[in-house]
Amino acid sequence: MKKLAICIVGPDQPGIIAKISKFFVEERANIEQVAQTSLDDLFSCTYIVSVPEDITPLRLQEKMNQTVSSLSLSVVVQPYHPSLSPVTTPSQPFVVTAWGPDKKGLVAGVTEVFAQWQVNVTNLRAVFKGGNNPDENIMLYEVEIPASIEFSLVQKALKDRAYELGIDIRLQHQDIFYHINRI
């Protein structure tokens, strides 16, 4: 078996995942990982699947596009080669929430701080509805902070950047965030 990465995007509607999952079964593909989200009325999904050696990325992409054409979805399939020796730096999971007036450069400004401190963003959700109501403009980052980096230094750098951007920002260990915000 070999692995393929598949990205699908288009108008959100009921039944997309069911149709794609059935397609994978029919093509003898096994879903190993999947991440799906909807933004406004836009569906977006990324799969990593394992497929028999006789299935090429181009053939699978052509067949998938035929299968989902009635749903107005676009599909991109490419080979996936996971690193044989992934770089694993001991790290801790944190959640960063930021909110404030909408303006250009917010995501770039925050993620630039992450890059400077070698903080990896593992998930990002940002909703910008415009205007000055901070409750309508929120960014939520799930990140991994290397254990070798002093948490308080990253926190200070984020606070300084938040001041420059005119937003509020909060950094919490993921365990604390989930415990406080669980339903």
Please write the tens of the pLDDT for every residue from 124-169.
Answer: 988 877 666 766 788 999 999 999 998 899 999 999 999 999 999 9
Helix (H) or strand (E) holding 142: strand 137-146
Please write the tens of the pLDDT for every residue from 39-56.
Answer: 889 999 999 999 999 999
Radius of gyration of the chain (CA): 20
pLDDT of residue 89: 79
Average pLDDT, the chain: 90
Instruction: Band the pLDDT of 101: cuts 50, 70, 90.
Output: confident
Render the burial of 101-126: b for 16+ CB within 10 Å, e for the rest: bbeeebeebbbebbeeeebeeeeeee
Of 82-86, 98-102, 123-127, 172-176, the range with the lowest mean pLDDT is 82-86
Q: Is the pLDDT of residue 69 over 60?
A: yes
pLDDT of residue 55: 94
pLDDT of residue 107: 93
Provide the 10 A C-beta neighbour count for residue 12: 16
pLDDT of residue 179: 65
**Contacts from 35-38 at CB under 8 Å and sequence distance 24+?**
37/125, 38/12
Q: Is the pLDDT of residue 4 over 80?
A: yes
Of 100-104, 113-117, 121-125, the range with the lowest mean pLDDT is 100-104
pLDDT of residue 113: 97
pLDDT of residue 144: 93
Domains of the chain: 2-79 (3.30.70.260), 91-181 (3.30.70.260)
For residue 24, what are its two tokens?
A: 């994978």
